[in-house]
Amino acid sequence: MENQTAVTEFILLGFTDVRRLQILLFVLLLITYVLTIAGNIIIISITLVSQRLQTPMYFFLRSFSLLEISFTSAFIPKVLFNVASGCQSISVAGCFAQCLFYLTVGIAEFCLLAAMSFDRFVAICNPLHYTSIMTSHFCDWLVLASWLIGFGYVIVPLVLLFQLPFCGPNIINHFFCDSAALLELACTDTRLLGLLSFLLSTGSILGTLAITVFSYFKIISVVRHIPSVAGRQKAFATCASHITMVSMVYGSCIFLYVKPMGSNRLDLSKNVAVLNSIVSPLLNPFIYSLRNKQVKEALREALRWITVFSKNSRF
């Protein structure tokens, strides 16, 4: 260890080293990023402006869209810069910041998805007490708690991770600074830190998933006793978009993080991470706009208002 040079930067391997494919990748990522930002900003704007969407359900949706923007912005701009410049390096400090922000937002999303399922549980199972339970103050605290839990969960293991000696090689087999890939590069025994990371990630993913599953178990139990088919369909319709997002987010994250230590296949994990970190944020606004009647109506109202405004401005 005394004769080895400490690593001052890492090299992100990315997806490919073929230049033509890199150019194609740059175009696709740029289009995806722009659509993700634009789509989620539209959701945020619609839920802010439309009077019919001033409920806790859409407050959480607005907060989730903000998280999705933050999630993709944690690494896609750096990926685009690396592909455009041909420089694949990232400093140790930059890698730490990227890991911290990415994982904080990721865990905050789990917590917020659990909060959204709790909101649906109260709305369907305790409708008479909904307004007294889901107050604006309580919703604000749930969103704030999601961010604080995310930060608190990841700061200690990340500080421990970046205090490990990295003496080469410094090539990260990923398109961003992933903690699992970094553990592979440390020149010391990482089993204890790997165990801690496994326990924390499993706790955050399965713990929030348990809240969601319990909420929907209770929802199904109540909906089954609704006498009319239309009533049951209406109750489930309010949950459809949320269930779709839960399936997408948790499906990929369970594969990535809830697995025994030493079973990491970085190439496969990198490909699955694309679904979780690029595809899901892109699809989020489309899922909620296409499968939610109220959001679609609010979008149509906004388009009509924009059309009328543009016609009047010409005169």
> Which of 44-58, 62-76, 224-238, 292-306 has the highest mean predicted lDDT (pLDDT)?
62-76
- Higher-pLDDT residue of 282, 308: 282
pLDDT, average across residues 272-281: 77
Q: What pTM was estimated for this model as a whole? A: 0.86
Task: Write down the pLDDT at residue 34.
Answer: 93
Q: Above 80 in pLDDT, residue 4?
A: no
Q: What is the pLDDT of residue 264?
A: 54
pLDDT mean across residues, the chain = 82
pLDDT at 315: 54
Which pLDDT does position 273 carry in this prediction?
Answer: 74
Mean pLDDT, range 159-177, rounded to an integer? 84
pLDDT at position 266, please?
57
Q: What pLDDT sits at residue 2?
A: 44
The superfamily CATH assigns to domain 9-314 is Rhodopsin 7-helix transmembrane proteins (1.20.1070.10)
| Dist. CA 162–CA 54, nearest whole Å | 43
Query: Any idea where the domains of the chain sit in the sequence?
Result: 9-314
Q: Does the pLDDT of residue 188 top 90, yes or no?
A: no
What's the rounded Cα separation, in Å, for the pair 201 and 276?
A: 15
Q: At what angle do helices 92-125 and 56-73 cross, to 10 degrees?
A: 160
Q: What average pLDDT score do residues 203-224 get?
A: 88
Higher pLDDT, 51 or 17: 51
Buried-state track 20-56, b at ≥16 Cβ within 10 A, e below 16: eebeebbeebeebbeebbebbebbbebbeebeebebb
**Does the pLDDT at position 279 exceed 70?**
yes
Could you read off the pLDDT of 233-253 as tens digits, one per residue?
A: 777 777 777 788 888 788 777
Q: 236-261 b/e with 16+ CB inside 10 Å = b?
A: eebbebbbebbebbbebbeebbbbee
